[in-house]
């Protein structure tokens, strides 16, 4: 089981990040939601649709952790894409309602993690996710995709531990997708090694996350040329 204090803390932070996300999306007009996002090929509506879909899909990881029975988030990559497209095409109020409902559903289901766990890890796109980090994974999704909306909200407004959750999720992706060898260090004295760790990349947590998630170069320094990273 997850330590009750940790689960309470994670869910509290998730609630805070979700509240900020909802405040942002509710401020967008229908026209503003059709503007491009920082996710290549996606509008803001697609990002919101992804978060609405993801909230329900991640509950399958909770079920896996509790029952030991492997579950896939989606039947296929095509099914995932179709669901996001369908949601993105909903009228504004319906889409926001779907986002709100899925966020509430995930939070409710995540409380079940306070009981016994059948497995210590679940798998997602080739990544091993500790069962105790499923809530942190949802926090990472909310923080990164809130940033992707390209509004006045910035990653600096997220809780520091939420930014840390997002970096850890990004690092898992880099490892799973065979990113070039790097040692990532932050001003906050965090360190992660990917592959042989040959290239040293440094920044504060926010700058490192912006680079790992979307390739922003403004706030990172490196001991050599920065590589093109796998998509996340």
Domain assignment of residue 158, yes or no:
no
- Return the pLDDT at 131: 95
Domain count, the chain: 2
**Domain with 17 in it: what CATH number?**
1.20.120.450
Question: Is 88 found in the same domain as 142?
Answer: yes
* 119 and 33 share one domain: yes
Which residues does 73 contact at the CB level (< 8 Å), separation at least 6? 57, 58, 60, 61, 80, 124
- What's 196's domain CATH number? 3.30.1050.20
- Statement to judge: residues 34 and 126 lie in one domain: yes
Residue numbers of the domain that contains 32: 4-153
Nearest to 135 by CA among 65, 74, 189, 214: 65
DSSP class of residue 156 equals G
Please report the pLDDT score of residue 115 as a whole number: 86
Only one residue has tokens 């069962």, namely 131
Mean confidence (pLDDT) of the chain:
96
159 assigned to some structural domain: no
Of 121, 153, 185, which one is at a domain's C-terminal end?
153
pLDDT the model gives residue 231: 82
Quote the tokens at residue 146: 């809130």
pLDDT of residue 1: 66
- Given 153, 181, 209, the domain boundary residue is 153
In DSSP notation, 16-38 reads HHHHHHHHHHHT--TTGGGSB-S
Per-residue pLDDT of the chain (232 residues; tens, 9 = 90+): 678 889 999 999 999 999 999 999 999 999 999 999 999 999 999 999 999 999 999 999 999 999 999 999 998 999 999 999 999 999 999 999 999 999 999 999 999 999 889 999 999 988 999 999 999 999 999 999 999 999 999 999 999 999 999 999 999 999 999 999 999 999 999 999 999 999 999 999 999 999 999 999 999 999 999 999 988 7
């Amino acid at each position: 089981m997850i330590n009750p204090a940790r689960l309470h803390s994670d869910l509290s932070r998730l609630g805070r990040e979700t509240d900020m996300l909802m405040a942002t999306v509710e401020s967008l007009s229908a026209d503003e939601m059709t503007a491009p996002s920082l996710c290549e090929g996606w509008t803001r509506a697609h990002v919101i649709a992804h978060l609405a879909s993801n909230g329900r899909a991640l509950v399958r990881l909770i079920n896996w952790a509790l029952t030991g029975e492997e579950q896939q988030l989606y039947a296929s990559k095509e099914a995932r894409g179709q669901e996001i497209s369908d949601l993105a095409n909903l009228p504004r109020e319906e889409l926001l309602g779907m986002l709100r409902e899925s966020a509430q559903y995930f939070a409710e289901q995540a409380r079940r993690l306070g009981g016994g766990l059948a497995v210590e890890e679940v798998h997602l796109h080739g990544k091993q996710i500790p069962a105790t980090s499923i809530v942190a994974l949802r926090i990472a999704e909310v923080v990164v995709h809130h940033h992707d909306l390209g509004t006045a909200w910035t990653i600096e407004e997220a809780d520091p531990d939420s930014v840390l959750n997002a970096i850890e999720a990004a690092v898992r992706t880099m490892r799973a997708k065979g990113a070039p060898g790097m040692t990532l260090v932050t001003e906050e004295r965090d360190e992660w090694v990917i592959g042989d760790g040959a290239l040293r990349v440094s920044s504060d947590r926010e700058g490192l996350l912006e680079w790992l998630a979307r390739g922003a170069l403004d706030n990172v320094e490196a001991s050599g040329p920065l590589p093109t990273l796998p998509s996340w």
